[in-house]
Amino acid sequence: MQQTAHTQKLSELETAIHTYVRPDTFPLAIRVMKKEEILPDRVKRPAKDFGKTFSICQGVTMARRYGWALAMGGEDLSCPIAKIAFGFEEELDYYTKGSLTDGMYTKTCDIGALTEAAVPKFTREEAGTVLMAPLGRAAFKPEVIVVYGNSAQVMRMVAGALFHTGGEITSTFTARADCADIVIKTIKTDKPQVILPCYGDRVFGQTHDHEMAFTIPFSMADEFIEGLKQTHKGGVRYPVPTYLQYEAKYPDTYEKLNDMFENKL
């Protein structure tokens, strides 16, 4: 019964997102599997199925562009930042003191340490296999929904998410480790997030320059669906309608011809 309930909710959410947001790629359901949980059938594992390790952002792009269901544990990961953020490896001093940012993202190691400390992280106890799939293929109850789109589409989703609460959505940006913002920060805050794709997401995940992302906790699905519907009804829509009820100003020669039409005998 529970399986049927969340599957139905995913279907409703998928319909609402495709109707009111119209993203170019599949909206994704994401869950961090507990150690005792069994993976659904027909889920790809990078190390086992491809003989390769990937970054989380590569997995997200495969899921949202190919329509695949993927599961990624520590053995599937190549990105050292993700290994630490998702709790698969310990934070070594080399990492925490800012060595990875020194001279690339920050002027010195000391201030780079602040950047690394800002990355959301799971503890060893919170770590688990990251399971992701398009909403229509998610044979599991997700914790996070992520949708990639352009800035207007993200704005549209912000409006839908705030319909029942008003106020604002607060997000933070470091240009790094957006996988942690998508999954870990959304789970830990239990709040929507506007996601600025990081440099790695663009290089390795091949996210396009025009793309951003938006996340909501799955627990907000009902109010988000209703928020998208009601804000659309209220006039907040995508594609954004352009205002066309104005009189154009033409070149002087064109206006002279119009004057001739008006003044003809």
Kindly list the domain boundaries of the chain, sorted by start residue.
2-240
| For residue 34, pLDDT beyond 60 | yes
Range with the lowest mean pLDDT among 3-7, 16-20, 65-69, 239-243?
3-7
What's the predicted TM-score (pTM) here?
A: 0.93
pLDDT for residue 4: 73
The whole-angstrom separation of Cα 21 and Cα 13 is: 11
- The identity of residue 214, as a single letter, is F
Please state, rounded to an integer, the average pLDDT across all residues of the chain.
96
- Over residues 202-238, the pLDDT tens digits come to 999 999 999 999 999 999 999 999 999 999 999 999 9
pLDDT for residue 2: 53
Q: What is the mean pLDDT of residues 99-110?
A: 96
| For residue 94, pLDDT beyond 80 | yes
| For residue 15, pLDDT beyond 60 | yes
Non-local (6+) Cβ contacts of 134 within 8 A are: 26, 27, 28, 29, 63, 64, 67, 69
pLDDT for residue 215: 98
- Over residues 142-194, the pLDDT tens digits come to 999 999 999 999 999 999 999 999 999 999 999 999 999 999 999 999 999 99
Cis peptide before 251 (omega within 30 of 0): no
Range with the lowest mean pLDDT among 2-11, 42-51, 127-136?
2-11
The whole-angstrom separation of Cα 163 and Cα 170 is: 15
Confidence of residue 1 (pLDDT cuts 50, 70, 90): very low
Q: What is the mean pLDDT of residues 56-62?
A: 98
The whole-angstrom separation of Cα 90 and Cα 83 is: 8
The whole-angstrom separation of Cα 58 and Cα 239 is: 28
The whole-angstrom separation of Cα 163 and Cα 181 is: 23
Confidence of residue 6 (pLDDT cuts 50, 70, 90): confident
For 188, the enclosing helix (H) or strand (E) is helix 186-189
Q: What is the mean pLDDT of residues 124-138?
A: 96
Q: Are 162 and 194 in contact (CB under 8 A)?
A: no
Share of the chain above pLDDT 70, in %: 98
pLDDT for residue 84: 98
The whole-angstrom separation of Cα 107 and Cα 94 is: 16
